[in-house]
């Protein structure tokens, strides 16, 4: 069987007069382990070129990074909001839009979950520590593969179908979260403090955003199931 090709959005930075794309290897390693072919996506100059690029892939993985510009969801910038590079802002939403058009599976991780949400007209909590009363630390200081807080999964949901259980221990490296789900999205998981940890399409399309980082937790069976389900769906 032909392996599904998974497009991955890298991060982007300008530092020391140099523009660079970069990507945590954990993302591509997780795709490889799940049987997919990772392909890093870069900025295009013409809208139709995003369509052309997306025509080459079978699934889209939206990765973590800095925050979306809150002007996208008509809000003023909170002082803790760290807006991503404008180049990434451009390609991130364009790739998502074209993936929706082509109806290919989309998995959004951390910022990627927020990309799915704002891309569909939803709104975000801009800073959990200052805007949500909670005893849960969503920006953990522990290592990337340490499980620190629980997530409660709604059923029925695609997330529940994939994981086969209604709660899971996760790592957590986010200070923003979904406030109001975008059009066609439903909440599929929350932390104990009510922070939304997952949204997904309300129909049978594979559009799944999760707030934690399963790519860093591949030695835990539940978390590797997410990538396997995503790559399998991309192969259909
Ligand atoms: Mn969290």
pLDDT tens digits, 71-85? 999 999 999 999 999
Split at pLDDT 50, 70, 90, the class of 42 is very high
- Mean pLDDT over each residue of the chain, to the nearest integer: 97
Domain 5-234 has CATH 3.40.50.880: yes
Residue pLDDT, tens place only, 125-175: 999 999 999 999 999 999 999 999 999 999 999 999 999 999 999 999 999
What's this model's pTM, rounded to 2 decimal places?
Answer: 0.98
The alpha carbon of 202 and the centre of ligand 1 are apart by a number of angstroms equal to 22
**What distance in angstroms lies between residue 197's CA and the mean position of ligand 1's atoms?**
6
What is the rounded CA–CA span in Å between residue 94 and residue 191? 30
Give the distance (Å) from ligand 1 centre to CA of residue 178: 11
| Distance, CA of 12 to CA of 30 (rounded, Å) | 21
State the distance from the centre of ligand 1 to the C-alpha of 51, rounded, in angstroms.
33
Catalytic residues: 110, 213, 215
Query: To 5 degrees, how large is the angle CA 1–CA 215–CA 188?
Result: 95
Task: Inform me whether the pLDDT recorded for 1 exceeds 80.
Answer: no
| pLDDT value for 220 | 87
Q: Name the residue among 207, 193, 106 with its Cα closest to residue 151.
A: 193
Every domain of the chain and the residues it spans: 5-234
What distance lies between CA 119 and its chain's CA centroid?
Answer: 12
Does residue 221 register a pLDDT over 90? no
Calculate mean pLDDT across residues 13-31.
97
| Alpha helices in the chain, H assignment, sequence order | 25-33, 47-54, 86-102, 111-119, 128-131, 158-163, 221-234
CA–centroid distance, 28 to ligand 1, in Å, is 22
């Amino acid at each position: 069987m032909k392996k599904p090709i998974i497009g991955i959005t890298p991060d982007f930075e300008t530092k020391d007069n140099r523009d660079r794309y970069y990507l945590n290897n954990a993302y591509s390693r997780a795709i490889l382990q799940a049987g997919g072919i990772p392909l890093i996506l870069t900025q295009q100059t013409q809208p139709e070129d995003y369509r052309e690029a997306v025509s080459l892939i079978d699934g889209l993985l939206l990765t973590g990074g800095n925050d979306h510009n809150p002007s996208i969801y008509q809000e003023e910038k909170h002082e803790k909001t760290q807006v991503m590079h404008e180049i990434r802002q451009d390609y991130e939403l364009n790739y998502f839009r074209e993936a929706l058009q082509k109806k290919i599976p989309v998995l959004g991780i951390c910022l990627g979950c927020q990309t799915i949400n704002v891309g569909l007209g939803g709104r975000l909590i801009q800073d959990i520590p200052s805007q949500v009363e909670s005893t849960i630390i969503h920006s953990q200081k522990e290592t990337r593969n340490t499980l620190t807080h629980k997530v409660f999964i709604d059923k029925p949901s695609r997330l529940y179908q994939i994981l086969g259980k209604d709660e899971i221990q996760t790592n957590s490296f986010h200070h923003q979260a979904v406030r109001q789900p975008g059009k066609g999205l439903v909440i599929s998981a929350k932390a104990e403090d009510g922070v939304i940890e997952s949204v997904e399409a309300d129909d049978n399309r594979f559009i799944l955003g999760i707030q934690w980082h399963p790519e860093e937790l591949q030695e835990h069976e539940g978390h590797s199931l997410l990538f396997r389900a995503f790559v399998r769906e991309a192969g259909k």
